[in-house]
Amino acid sequence: MEIREYRPEDCAELTRLFYDTVHTVNCKDYTPAQLDAWADGTPDLDRWNRSLQEHFSLVALEGEKIIGFGDMDSTGYLDRLYVHKDYQGKGVATALCDRLEQAVDGPIVTHASITARPFFEGRGYVMVKAQQVERKGILLRNFVMEKRR
């Protein structure tokens, strides 16, 4: 596995990976309506690209295939961390998170899904609060989690 910084030409593939991961990996914890509200399959590529370029964004590859990505802003907010559905449990998220966490000093905060919460707890994150977030009129449960160093 290789990890490199995000490039704009990665954007479309990342949004496909995001959609596929949400709809396959998270389906045990969220309803179909929640999954559609979270990832509707029609991403705003300009907005995604702008956000990924503004953040410290990494891409994990196996050969030429993107198998995961993650990004963090300068305040220590870990925004996205997604691994291809066929590469779950193979250390991809761990490798990405290791690199992302090194990019900032101080605490790191993320909004973890029900599915991702155990992964973050295993890395020393603690739940600050459970919350309901609204996406397209649909409520989704997630957890504000923080890692202090």
- Condensed to tens digits (0 to 9), the pLDDT of residues 34-81 reads 999 999 999 999 999 999 999 999 999 999 999 999 999 999 999 999
- DSSP letter string, 16-31: HHHHHHHHHHGGGTS-
Contacting residues for 17 by C-beta, under 8 A, at least 6 apart: 66, 68, 69, 82, 84
What pLDDT was estimated at residue 51?
A: 97
Asked whether residue 31 carries a pLDDT value surpassing 90, the answer given is yes
* Domains located in the chain, CATH noted: 2-104 (3.40.630.30)
What pLDDT was estimated at residue 149?
A: 82
| Cα gap 19→23, rounded to integer Å | 6
What pLDDT was estimated at residue 83?
A: 98
Quote the pTM value.
0.95
Check if the beta carbon of residue 122 is closer than 8 Å to that of residue 61.
Answer: no
- Condensed to tens digits (0 to 9), the pLDDT of residues 94-130 reads 999 999 999 999 999 999 999 999 999 999 999 999 9
Asked whether residue 21 carries a pLDDT value surpassing 90, the answer given is yes
What pLDDT was estimated at residue 63?
A: 95
Average pLDDT, integer, range 121-146: 97
| Cα gap 2→77, rounded to integer Å | 23
Residue 143's SS3 state is: strand
Distances (CA, A) of 57 to 7, 8, 67, 68: 9, 11, 14, 11
Contacting residues for 135 by C-beta, under 8 A, at least 6 apart: 34, 37, 38
What pLDDT was estimated at residue 88?
A: 96
